[in-house]
Chain A
Amino acid sequence: MVPLALGSDTGGSVRQPAALCGVSGFKPTYGRISRHGLVAFGSSLDQVAPLARSVRDLATLTRALAGPDGRDATALDTTLGRTGDGDALDGLRVGVPREFFPDALDADVRAVVEHALDDLRARGAQLVDVTLPLVPAALSTYYVLAASEASSNLARFDGVRYGVRVAGDGSLASMMARTRTHGFGAEVKRRILLGTYALSSGYHDAWYGRAQAVRAALTANFARLFADTVDVLAGPTSPTPAFPLGERADPVAMYASDVLTVPASLAQLPALSVPCGFVERDARRLPVGMQLIGAHGADALVLDAGAAFQGATTHHRDAPCTKESAR
């Protein structure tokens, strides 16, 4: 329908759908694209993120969106840098964290991603086994921090100035409570409650405080790997292929699908999802995404590595939902 699209990626909301739908999605380094105008959910995690059929198109769109912005104090003051290095895979050190291949990973997805890693090696990349011991803690860390920030960011929807207002019993507090009860959906309320709890006095240190500490340590984990050992990290984007609509009624099962995308969100790193093959499910071909993560600010390298991968493979043209695949 369209060649380019925009989403916002807080914990994987662009990379996940890109992987499950067989398109390319890129969450730039935090601050690469201004958040001005973006409705905030988790302010320290939110990034405007493009979707496209190819990484080359993603790079074009990212370049158009990136750059310093006088209206977002957290926007980076550096530019994207040069992209378009066709030989980006040649000699590229690709770290493969064992924590990106957990027991819960779908076996077929694992096989497809391992095959894609072989393709990277065939194009000159050097695969390095690495470890990121805090990755298993990333999911709960993410949900505490994102919900905490969301509980604050969504406070402005109180019925006072704009949007829905439901009359109260005459007091301001009841108007606000009824407005918010009526206006928010169940999942949003769940996260607001979770975040409010995590920030409350008496629980703040155990929840928000600990999550902040894990985030800092995880960020340091990543930084050390990029400083010493690897240029990019690779693994699956999602632990499973697309699941039937309505199958995951349990929110915790739903949250678990973010397990591989939230580490890069917490560390504010550039992360790309590219189609890397298909799995068979109920006689249907479902796309699988590979995630490439770069060092803070290394957006251009991640995009170049992804573009080089697509230059050597055809998965991105093979996507089931594109006109090209119907040919």
Chain B
Amino acid sequence: MTGAWRTVIGLETHVQLGTHTKLFCGCANEFGAPPNANTCELCTGQPGSLPLLNERALRLAVRAALALDADVAARSTFDRKNYFYCDLPKGFQTTQYVAPYASGGGVALDDGSFVRLTRIHMEEDAGKAIHDRGDTTLVDLNRAGVPLIEIVTEPDLSNAEQAFEYLTKLKEVLVYAGVSDCDMEKGSLRCDVNVSVHREDEPLGTRVEIKNLNSFRNVRAAIEHEVERQTRALDDGTAIVQETRLFDVDANATRTMRVKEDEDDYRYFPEPDLPPALVTDEVLRVERAAIPELPTARRARYANELGLSEYDAGVLTAERATSDFFDAALRAADPGAAKLLANWTTNELLAATADPDVPGAALDELRVSPADLAALVALVERGEIHSAAARTVLRETLRSGRAPDDVVRELGLAQASDPAEIEAWCTAAIDADPRATEQVRAGNGKAIGALIGAVMKRSQGRANPEVVRSVLTRMLEVDA
């Protein structure tokens, strides 16, 4: 009996840096521009053009490395990777092969394992070849020269789920650090997977690379299918061929793209047009300072210090803007208000960003500031307004931007506890709903909820529901 099958996975992730301009020229780094609008002599490979390293790209690359706990080299160099393709204007890609700018570091997974990084290097993106226009291939060079970092892991992952989690966490860190939007649909994050399978007590198996993975879900699915394919082949006594495979979403399987013998010989050599990239201690200091508290740390703080649920902590940190808004509101609020603030942030405010009638499509665009939210929650906590009224206040603040205290005063929304006023609303509610009234009188205690709701509605949320209940009970008993 031989050992069980073991899967070994390594990932290579390309991330576009969120710079204004390309890596070696001044063209805009912008998604969705008309074809070839963002091009110049350099990124179209005109003779006589020379590259200049974008300082901002180097800084963002450094920040990414620091956020991933990698070691940044004080001096790194560029190399040329030579191959011919229509989307590669110079006939070579400028990359870092021999001396990448960062190495080490990694990503901690929830199961306690740690995915180590082999290296991170800078390189330029290629253009795009568009093949689906009849007989001709069209070339769009807007993407040519866009700055990338390639993050290469050690073969530390052992299943598809871990790969999914690694990518999710990697993306979180890079988005939080402001390095990239990591939007796979726009191609600003792309991932290649290396998978091999071997028996527990035997040497590593033959490695297969999978490309064309356009979502984290597809990465997971591709790995699952590839592991199954390799395991089945090995069980049947078939050797695995070292090759590059594509993930076919429709077929839900991988298929051969090219075998190793057909791979280009890239003829790397040092890029003579670029001096080494130098990173000073000052740059390290500034970029380290630019890294905010990362999502894993925030979730731990929310759970441990604020007592929020794992779910709420997850929702709050899913986007940095949400978490930043919540933290800002927290600073302006009473420490005990954390749970209420979390509820209001995750329920009301996130819903408001999706509401087309509310101005602002993101938290930081809303007319409600974190301090407004803190003030609103304080009003609820002190019992000055009921939560239904608070929603009315919030709607008004979202609309007009006026401070919650002012809205409460202007709209007269302070909670009404005066029995005479409440009695009037109750009488109206009873008159309007004889059926519910009858049921309550007949002893159906639950039916009173409908009447309380009607009163709350009539009072625009101002009525204190406890007082309403006692008034209704009294009125209906008196009448009985």
Contact = CB atoms under 8 A, between A and B. Distances in A.
Interface of A: 35-40, 42-44, 70-74, 148-149, 151-152, 154-156, 158, 160-162, 172-173, 176, 196, 199-201, 204, 208
B269 A199 contact: yes
Contacts of A36: 48-50
20 contacts: A35-B50, A36-B50, A39-B47, A39-B48, A43-B273, A72-B50, A73-B50, A73-B51, A73-B274, A74-B275, A151-B267, A152-B80, A152-B92, A152-B267, A152-B269, A156-B45, A160-B89, A173-B84, A199-B268, A208-B269
Given A38-B48, A156-B91, A204-B267, A73 B273 contact: yes
Nearest to B87: A160
B90 A156 contact: yes
B47 A156 contact: yes
B265 interface: yes
B86 interface: yes
A172 B50 contact: no
A208 B268 CA distance: 10
A151 B83 CA distance: 11
Given A36-B50, A73-B275, A162-B46, A176 B84 contact: yes
Contacts of B137: 172
B188 interface: no
B52 interface: yes
A70 B52 contact: yes
B44 interface: yes
A71 B84 CA distance: 26
A71 B272 contact: no
A158 B52 contact: no
B44 to A, nearest CB: 6
Interface string B29-50: 0000000000000001111111
B91 A158 contact: yes
Listed from nearest, the 4 A-B pairs whose CB atoms lie closest are A155-B91, A199-B267, A44-B272, A43-B272
Contacts of B50: 35-36, 71-74
B84 A152 contact: no
Nearest to B46: A162
A189 to B, nearest CB: 15
B29 to A, nearest CB: 19
Contact of B82 (A72, A152, A160): A152
A161 B90 CA distance: 10
Given A40-B47, A73-B53, 15 more contacts: A42-B272, A43-B273, A71-B50, A71-B52, A73-B51, A74-B273, A74-B274, A149-B269, A155-B92, A156-B91, A160-B86, A160-B139, A199-B267, A199-B268, A200-B265
B272 A74 contact: yes
Contacts of B52: 70-71, 73
Contact of B48 (A40, A149, A172): A40
Nearest to B81: A152
Interface of B: 44-53, 80, 82, 84-86, 89-92, 137, 139, 265, 267-269, 272-275
Nearest to B135: A170
Contacts of A151: 82, 267
Nearest to B85: A172
B341 to A, nearest CB: 51
Contacts of B273: 40, 43, 73-74
A40 B85 CA distance: 20
Nearest to A201: B265
A160 B36 CA distance: 14
A58 B298 CA distance: 66
B90 A149 contact: no
Nearest to B265: A201
Nearest to A37: B48
A29 to B, nearest CB: 15
Contacts of B90: 155-156
A158 B265 contact: no
A151 B84 CA distance: 12
Contacts of A73: 50-53, 273-275
Contact of B44 (A40, A155, A161, A204): A161
B251 to A, nearest CB: 26
A156 B89 contact: yes
A296 B383 CA distance: 80
Nearest to A38: B48
B54 to A, nearest CB: 11
A208 B44 CA distance: 28
Contacts of A72: 50
A149 B275 contact: no
Contact of B86 (A38, A148, A172): A172
A200 B50 CA distance: 25
B269 A161 contact: no
B275 A161 contact: no
Given A152-B267, A156-B91, A161 B80 contact: no
